[in-house]
């Protein structure tokens, strides 16, 4: 095919063969052009016109976008999951005879973005690599825009799945042998690449990082796509699975930590409640702190101590917040610097970000915070700020090719060229006056046109007796009423004036590249300071939220779990603190399971969520919404709250419920917190009740984890007599004037009655429905009391009992068949029941 096309198209096809999985943006003059299938795809996604090249002979589908506005088009393609290969002209067409050399300079993918393609500033954008060897799963992930790089390993499939879900990568890379991990983790994986060209990379690592193979895979893929040495990568950090509270994807979702369950937006989430940060760096760090609460009490207390200092020093806190408001996204600016993609506007943002750092350091010193490890060695980077402040003009130009980047005094040659540009008219006027004096002609003037450039014009009358040769004037043009001349001095002046702007632009670009290179030496210092600023930003936000919503510093005691007047922070913010009803909790080794009953809409789920969120906030280093809180340090929180069918995977509500419950029961320890809401409601009544009871017994006898367990199965409340660590609690509701009133107060003891029909009336079901339901309920309750209830569990016909049951079950059935209840005395009946019970217990114990 390539032999029958033009040389340019042959060049295109050769380059395209090397990037078959990407849309090739092929630079032709001021446009990026796409051809063949790439053009068809891009025209649909971008909604641009599809045309054709060589329409008469062999039409080739074609579309294009202007070079200067390509960024938005590329961002849209990336957002739709495509890769884009950028092919540039490597030579100046004006200086080359024949075909211009072209080559791909960068492949842009969802996981290899710098922040120039519409990235959200408050979120990390991770590319993740997976690798398996001998049952050990390794992962490494990086945010190229910030230089963050992490790695971890595990032999547990569920743990791998949970951690990858928590990272939430926008793109994944695997080798051929590890490609099966994608289906193990995802039903519908994000964009991924099977990449088989991993090379060894020498990268600095923190202590404990051993995942060399997966790091080589990740870094090789990054290098192949970006085609530059990204020198801003920080040392590889160990993603510590056991060093932080475990929150799986279900817990993060069910507790609405990062987004609201219904709207999928930030509003209504814990992140929304806490986010008073001023910088994009702080916003990203806040998300990571929510996802990974601490378990080390000294580290937690250190954050609490800083929050206390900010609360005690309102003026200094306000000053710091104001100063942080002037700080841009230093982390991503450093990424652009490393990539060579930084422009004059970015340098201005770095300069302005650094301007307030000395004042920040002064306040931190005054408050004694520089003695804290998290702020020790705070670097205000005055030397870099001085360089940028002395050199850069404000406002910056749109591009670095437009000039006007630097102050005139920054460079002697630039100052000279600027002087020429700024004083061209003065030069010409001074020269004109000198020529009038020299020639004795008072009415000569200087003009300009694009054909001849600058010229001296003498009227026809004066020109008749003018000795041009004497004054070194060269005739350039004859007009009806005048003659036009040039002189060597004017020609030289013209050259200087017309070339000064071009020369200054070329000079400024060279100066810019030199400054950019010089700034690379400051990248590590900038990153360390950015890390401290993001931490400072989060802790100031904590203080602001604590002050606004009357939050309390929690205490920690591994043996106690006590909350007095606890509130759900988000719900309270939405409905108002005067409306929200606070609640208590008190657990210890004697009673560590709350079995909670009460009507729908009474606040059971809110109560359970608030307990979990209070614990998460405390371990983040945040104060908590309670009058008093003494908390253990939880190693994990597992939740089963609400459900919906997962149609894409074919999993029903009940299956999802059982899978999440299974993970909790298998992974939880005595130091975990379990939140189970209405377990078993996705199946038939008796099945659900049996499962709920068995889970409670299992948690009580084998795990010992602190548990909040809500249910509508009132029959389960009898378990408080069998399980010493279980206590019954209910959410109070009452009837007033025939209507149900929710009191939202959690009290000891089981709920007194069911209020389902009342809730149905609140939902405004037709009166005929609720009236009939009341009659039916009365009949059922009457039948239950008399032992004649006509209520049965529906069952599918399975195998015959005696063929399906085990030997003991068969013996029990045979023994029951042999009993004649009409001839048994009460004592004999009890003895027979005891025998049958012993048979079952003995079999169970075996």
Chain position carrying tokens 């075909």: 99
**How far is 560 from 204, CA to CA, in rounded Å?**
42
DSSP for 312-370 reads H-HHHHHHHHHHHTT---HHHHHHHHHHT---HHHHHHHHHHHHTHHHHHHHHHHTTGG
Chain centre to alpha carbon of residue 827: 70
Cα dihedral 782, 787, 788, 792 sign: positive
- Report the side by side order of strands in the sheet with 474-478: 445-449, 453-459, 482-486, 474-478
DSSP for 567-611 reads --HHHHHHH-TTT---EEEEE-SS--EEEEE--TTSSHHHHHHHH
Count of CB atoms within 10 A of residue 19's CB? 17
**How far is 59 from 55, CA to CA, in rounded Å?**
4
**How far is 21 from 193, CA to CA, in rounded Å?**
9
Annotated binding-site residues for ATP read 598-605
Q: Yes or no: say if 159 and 167 are a contact pair by the CB < 8 Å rule.
A: no
Largest CA distance in the chain: 155
CA-to-CA separations, 250 to 60, 258, 668, in angstroms, rounded: 50, 12, 14
CA-to-CA separations, 224 to 119, 164, 199, 430, in angstroms, rounded: 21, 23, 11, 59
| 202, 205, 208, 211 alpha-carbon torsion, rounded to 10° | -40
Annotated binding-site residues read 598-605
**How far is 673 from 671, CA to CA, in rounded Å?**
7
Entry field: residues in the chain: 846
Chain centre to alpha carbon of residue 512: 33
**How far is 845 from 293, CA to CA, in rounded Å?**
41
Q: Is 58 exposed, middle or buried (0-12, 13-18, 19+ CB in 10 A)?
A: exposed
């Amino acid at each position: 095919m390539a032999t029958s096309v033009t040389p340019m198209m042959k060049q295109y096809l050769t380059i395209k063969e090397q990037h078959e999985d990407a849309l090739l943006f092929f630079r032709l003059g001021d446009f990026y052009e796409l051809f063949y299938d790439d053009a068809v795809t891009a025209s649909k996604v971008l909604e641009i016109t599809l045309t054709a090249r060589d329409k008469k002979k062999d039409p080739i589908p074609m579309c294009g976008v202007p070079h200067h506005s390509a960024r938005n088009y590329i961002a849209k393609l990336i957002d739709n999951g495509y890769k884009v290969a950028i092919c540039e002209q490597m030579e100046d067409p004006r200086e080359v005879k024949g075909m211009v050399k072209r080559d791909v300079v960068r492949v842009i993918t969802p996981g290899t973005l710098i922040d120039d393609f519409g990235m959200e500033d408050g979120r990390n954008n991770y590319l993740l690599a997976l690798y398996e060897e001998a049952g050990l799963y390794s992962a490494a992930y990086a945010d190229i825009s910030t230089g963050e790089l992490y790695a971890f390993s595990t032999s547990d499939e569920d743990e791998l799945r949970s951690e990858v879900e928590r990272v939430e990568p926008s793109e994944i890379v695997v080798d051929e042998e590890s490609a099966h991990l994608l289906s193990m983790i995802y039903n519908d994986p994000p964009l991924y690449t099977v990449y088989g060209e991993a090379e060894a990379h020498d990268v600095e690592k923190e202590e404990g990082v051993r995942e060399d193979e997966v790091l080589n895979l990740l870094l090789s893929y990054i290098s192949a796509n970006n085609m530059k040495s990204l020198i801003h990568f920080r040392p590889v950090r160990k993603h510590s699975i056991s060093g932080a509270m475990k929150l799986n994807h279900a817990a993060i979702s069910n507790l609405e930590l990062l987004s609201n369950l219904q709207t999928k937006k930030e509003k209504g989430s814990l992140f929304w409640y806490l986010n008073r940060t001023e910088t994009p760096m702080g916003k990203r760090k806040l998300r990571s702190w929510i996802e990974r609460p601490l378990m080390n009490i000294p580290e937690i207390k250190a954050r609490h101590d800083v929050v206390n200092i900010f609360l005690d020093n309102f003026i200094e806190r306000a000053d710091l917040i104001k100063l942080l408001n002037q700080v841009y996204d230093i982390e991503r600016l450093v990424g652009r610097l490393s990539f060579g993609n930084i422009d004059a506007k970015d340098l201005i943002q770095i300069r302005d970000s650094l301007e307030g750092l000395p004042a920040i350091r002064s306040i931190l010193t005054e408050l004694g915070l520089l003695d804290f490890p998290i702020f020790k060695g705070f670097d205000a980077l005055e030397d870099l700020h001085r360089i940028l402040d002395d050199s850069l003009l404000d406002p910056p130009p749109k591009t670095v090719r437009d000039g006007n980047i630097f102050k005139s005094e920054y460079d002697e040659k630039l100052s000279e060229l600027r002087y020429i540009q700024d004083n061209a008219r003065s030069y010409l006027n001074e020269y004109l006056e000198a020529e009038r004096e020299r020639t004795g002609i008072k009415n000569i003037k200087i003009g300009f046109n694009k054909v001849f450039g600058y010229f001296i014009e003498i009227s026809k009358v004066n020109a008749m007796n003018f000795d041009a040769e004497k004054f070194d004037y060269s005739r350039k043009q004859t007009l009806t009423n005048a003659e036009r001349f040039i002189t060597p001095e004017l020609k030289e002046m013209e050259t200087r004036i017309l070339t000064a702007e071009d020369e200054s632009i070329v000079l400024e670009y060279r100066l810019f590249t030199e400054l950019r290179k010089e700034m690379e030496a400051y990248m590590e210092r900038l990153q360390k300071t950015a890390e401290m600023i993001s931490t400072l930003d989060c802790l100031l936000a904590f203080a602001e939220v604590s002050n606004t919503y009357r939050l309390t510093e929690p205490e920690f005691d591994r043996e106690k779990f006590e909350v007095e007047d606890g509130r759900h922070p988000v719900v309270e913010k939405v409905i108002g603190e005067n409306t929200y009803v606070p609640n208590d909790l008190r657990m210890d080794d004697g009673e560590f399971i709350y079995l909670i009953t009460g009507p729908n809409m009474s606040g059971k789920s809110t109560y359970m969520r608030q307990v979990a969120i209070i614990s998460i906030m405390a371990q983040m280093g945040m104060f908590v919404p309670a009058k008093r809180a003494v908390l253990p340090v939880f190693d994990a929180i597992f939740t089963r709250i609400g459900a919906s069918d997962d149609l894409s995977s074919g999993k029903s509500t009940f299956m999802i419920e059982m899978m999440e419950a299974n993970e909790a029961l298998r992974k939880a320890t005595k130091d975990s917190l379990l939140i189970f809401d209405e377990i078993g409601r996705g199946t038939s009544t008796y099945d659900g009740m049996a499962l709920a009871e068995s889970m409670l017994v299992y948690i009580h006898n084998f795990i010992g984890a602190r548990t909040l367990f809500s249910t509508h199965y009132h029959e389960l409340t009898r378990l408080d007599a069998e399980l010493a660590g279980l206590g019954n609690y209910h959410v109070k509701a009452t009837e007033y004037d025939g209507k149900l009133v929710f009191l939202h107060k959690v009290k000891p003891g089981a709920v007194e009655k069911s209020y389902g029909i009342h809730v149905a009336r609140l939902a405004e079901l037709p009166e005929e429905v609720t009236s009939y339901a009341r009659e039916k309920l009365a009949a059922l309750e009457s039948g239950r009391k008399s032992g004649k209830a006509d209520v049965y569990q529906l069952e599918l016909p399975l195998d015959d009992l005696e063929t399906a049951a085990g030997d003991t079950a068969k013996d029990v059935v045979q023994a029951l068949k042999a009993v004649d209840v009409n001839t048994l005395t009460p004592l004999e009946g009890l003895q027979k029941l005891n025998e049958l019970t012993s048979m079952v217990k003995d079999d169970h114990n075996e």
